[in-house]
Amino acid sequence: MTRLVLIRFALAVPILLGVSVAAFALMRLLPGDFAQAAAGSANVSTEMLEKVRRDLGLDQPIWVQYLAWLGDALRGDFGTSFVTRRPVTSEIGGRLGVTFELTALAALMAMVMGGLTGLASARFRGHTDWIVRLWNGLMLAIPNFVVGTLIVLLAGLYFPQIRIFYFVPFTEDPLGSIGSLLLPAFALSLAVSVTVSENTRAAVLEVASQDFVMVARAKGLRPRTVLRNYLVRNALTPVITVTGLQIAQLLGGSILIETIFAIPGMGQYLFDSITSRDYPVIQAIVLTTAAVVVLVNVLVDIAYIRADARVEG
Amino acid sequence: MSDPFLKVRGLTAAFTTRGRDVQVLNGLDFDMAAGEAIGIVGESGSGKSVTARALMQLAPEGSSIRLGGSVTFQGQDLLQYSERQMQTLRGSQIAMVFQDPMTSLNPTMTVGAQIDDMLRRHKGLSARPARDRTVELLERVGIHNARRRADDHPHQFSGGMRQRVMIAMAISCDPALLIADEPTTALDVTVQAQILRLLLQLREDLGMALMLITHDFGVIAGMVERVMVMYRGDIVETGPVERIFDAPEHLYTRALLAAVPRLDAPEAKP
């Protein structure tokens, strides 16, 4: 088990290096750079632009810039923002935390809602199955920013007593913070929860037809023991796979949801940074997000081992 | 106590699939004495497995089975039992060994835990005494290092060993009747003999009744006293095993006996 986790972490190194190269190069492939973006439509002399570039080190060959940045990044220093002139770490630190809180909350909601509706759909069949599958189909078809906008709109119209646009930082009041993110997390989790739901339903139906479930009933075990130890435990593995893949999607989806609900996460900030070509900020955000996705995948692998003894550690 | 151990009268079974009823048992009548061993023989689809499932009232997942007639087991009509009462009876009074040991065990639980949960359910044992009894049972069915092996998962056992685990599980709560539904069909011939010997031994030691279901006449010879031959949901012939072998009355029984491959048959000679 420890060995497998170590191997997974070791594999993360080349992945993250690749991500860093891509993030670095792709940004510089975009037309224009920070100097031009900052100048905007104002008439600035070429000398001025050159001076700004020289100050920021943008006149160096790209691989020199990359190695210098990588060296600093390995020591935990992601440079200074071109725009604010403040260290990137302190600029994005708090914002990333908010985004991860929102994503984690949405992931948890998606797992609980998806798992329960999928299980109910497979066990009760009939009308429950119909309703769940109709809902799943509908929610799969509607992008989550539309759902988010609808929630804001409908809540504003019919439940004006509910506060929507407010945010409490986690460090100030953890419970209040989670409370302030419930609606956006719900909007974010819907698309993922229906995927989890459909997969749970399929997995439970598949497991229910296995011989060992019949054996468990022939043993005279109580229905809830059969459900917990025989059905759900065996249906977990495929559901874990799908959930792990979906969490990466949540991180992407959170950018739009943050914009809709005016949450001070990295979504809006990333968008602004791309517009102003603030390279250090973009690179730091891309790399941290990639690191989180890799981490989630390692966690998924650990979950496999816990759920199924046949996966050797 | 005029009632026999098991008295089945007019047992019918019908499956409902897509709104249509399919009758699979057409009113069976048979008795079993306590501790008796009987064999049920017939081809696929003759209703022998459904008979076993009907006694246990176990329908395959997602389908429903409608039973009629009466099944009087130790003086109680099981068809009048509620599902909850049946749950208490399954495993403790009537236990079952299934055909395919490769798929009959839960792959995500240790084999020990799968016997423990039954002991805890029916015998009310707590974790430690349940495990002690499980180890005892595993040793009894011929699994070495039982204490350590109990913590292994099913995929770490061979097919024959898994069937031994299934048998240990079935006898764990001292059932009065053990139903073995094609217990050796999925195993190779040498292992078949070992498993049959084990079943015979356990039946002698524990004095439980045995219902051996098979399509193979070779399996029941020497295992049971009485044979019932089933064909298309009916019992077509019943009698002592020697009589059925020596002088089968029903045409179908003769056909079935003729289907047993023989070493001395002319075609087999080189």
Task: Work out the pLDDT band at B40, boundaries 50, 70, 90.
Answer: very high
What CA–CA distance (Å, rounded) separates A16 from A24?
12
Owner of token pair 């191997």 = A7
Contacts of B104 in chain A (CB under 8 A): 211-212, 215
Residues present in chain B in total: 270
Is the CB of B121 less than 8 angstroms away from the CB of A220? yes
The helix/strand/coil state of B261 is coil
Residue in A211, A221, A310 closest to B118 by CB: A221
State pLDDT tens for residues B133-155: 999 999 999 999 999 999 999 99
User: Is residue B92 within 8 Å of A220, Cβ to Cβ?
Assistant: yes
d(CA A221, nearest CA chain B) in Å: 7
A154-163, long-range: CB < 8 A, 24+ apart: A155/A183
CB–CB contacts below 8 A, A to B: 85
Statement: residue B250 has pLDDT above 60? yes
Which two three-digit tokens encode residue B151?
């913590």
User: Which pTM does this prediction carry?
Assistant: 0.81
Strand partners of residue B94: B90, B177
Chain centroid to CA A258: how far?
12
Q: Which residue is associated with the tokens 């019918």?
A: B12
Give residue for tokens 């430690």: B128
CATH level 3 topology of B6-258: Rossmann fold (3.40.50)
* Cβ pair A19, A12 in contact under 8 A: no
Alpha carbons within 13 angstroms on the beta-carbon side of residue A168 total 14
Q: A211–B155: do the CB atoms touch at under 8 Å?
A: no
Closest-CA residue in chain A for B151?
Answer: A309
Three-state secondary-structure class, residue B176 = coil
CB contact under 8 A, B118 and A222: no
* Residue B238, pLDDT score: 92
Give the Cβ contact number of residue B222 at 10 Å.
Answer: 10
Considering only alpha carbons, which residue of chain B is nearest residue A124?
B62
**Interatomic CA distance for residues A31 and A35, integer angstroms:** 12
Q: Does residue B1 surpass a pLDDT of 50?
A: no
Length of chain A: 313
Of the partner residues A208, A219, A310, the one whose CB lies closest to the CB of residue B61: A208
Q: For residue A122, give the nearest of A206, A215, A191 by alpha carbon.
A: A206
- Identify whether the C-beta of residue A122 lies closer than 8 Å to the C-beta of residue A208: yes
Other Cβ atoms closer than 10 A to A138: 11
Q: What distance in Å separates the CA atoms of residue A40 and residue A86, rounded to the nearest whole number?
A: 22
Report phi then psi at A61, rounded to 5.
-60, 150
Nearest CA in chain B to A123: B62
Q: CA dist A233 to A125, A224, B106, Å?
A: 20, 12, 9
Lowest pLDDT segment from A159-173, B95-109, B243-257: A159-173
pLDDT tens for each residue of B117-134: 999 999 999 999 999 999
Torsions phi, psi for A280 (to 5 deg): -55, -40
- Cα angle for residues B72, B164, B222 (degrees, 5° grid): 65
Q: For residue B264, what are the contacts with CB-CB under 8 A and spacing of at least 6?
A: none
Question: Considering only CA atoms, which of B182, B150, B249 is closest in space to residue B41?
Answer: B182
Contact B104 A222 (CB under 8 A): no
Q: Report the C-alpha gap between A11 and A6 in whole angstroms.
A: 9
ipTM of the complex: 0.89
Give the separation between CA A251 and CA A241, rounded to whole angstroms: 17
pLDDT score of B269: 46
| DSSP 8-state class, residue A155 | H
Which chain A residue shows the shortest CA-CA distance from B168?
A: A219
* CA distances, A106 to each of A22, A155, A301, B117 (Å): 28, 19, 21, 36
Place of tokens 């049920």: B40
- Has residue B230 got a pLDDT over 90? yes
**Residue ranges for chain A with pLDDT beneath 50:** 313
Q: What is the pLDDT of residue B268?
A: 45
A165: left (phi over 0), alpha (psi -120 to 50) or beta: beta
A213–B87 C-beta distance less than 8 A:
no
What's the confidence (pLDDT) of residue B265? 59
Query: What CA–CA distances, in Å, run from B176 to A15, A244, B5, B11?
Result: 62, 49, 9, 21
Strand partners, B238: B228
Note the pLDDT of residue B267.
Answer: 56
User: Has residue B2 got a pLDDT over 70?
Assistant: no
- 8 A C-beta contact, residue B218 and residue B208: no
Task: State how far the Cα of A167 lies from the Cα of A176, in Å rounded to an integer.
Answer: 9
Among A208, A211, A310, the residue with its CB nearest the CB of B153 is A310
**Structure tokens that stand for B27 in this block:** 């009113």
Count of other CB atoms within 10 angstroms of residue A94:
15
Torsion region of B62: left, alpha or beta (phi above 0 gives left; psi -120 to 50 gives alpha): left
Distance from C-alpha of B250 to C-alpha of B244, rounded to nearest angstrom? 9
Chain B positions contacting chain A at CB under 8 Å are: 56, 58, 60-62, 87-92, 95-96, 98, 100, 103-110, 117-118, 121-122, 153, 155, 166, 169
Q: What letter would DSSP give residue B265?
A: S
**Of the candidates B253, B43, B212, which has an alpha carbon nearest to the alpha carbon of residue B245?**
B253
Say how many CA atoms lie within 13 Å of A261 toward its Cβ: 34
Which residue ranges form the domains of chain A, and what is each CATH number?
88-307 (1.10.3720.10)
| Closest in B60, B153, B166 to A214, CB measured | B60
B160, pLDDT greater than 60: yes
CB contact under 8 A, A221 and B103: no
DSSP annotation of A247: H
CB spacing of B122 vs A222 below 8 angstroms: no
Contact (CB<8Å) B98/A211: yes
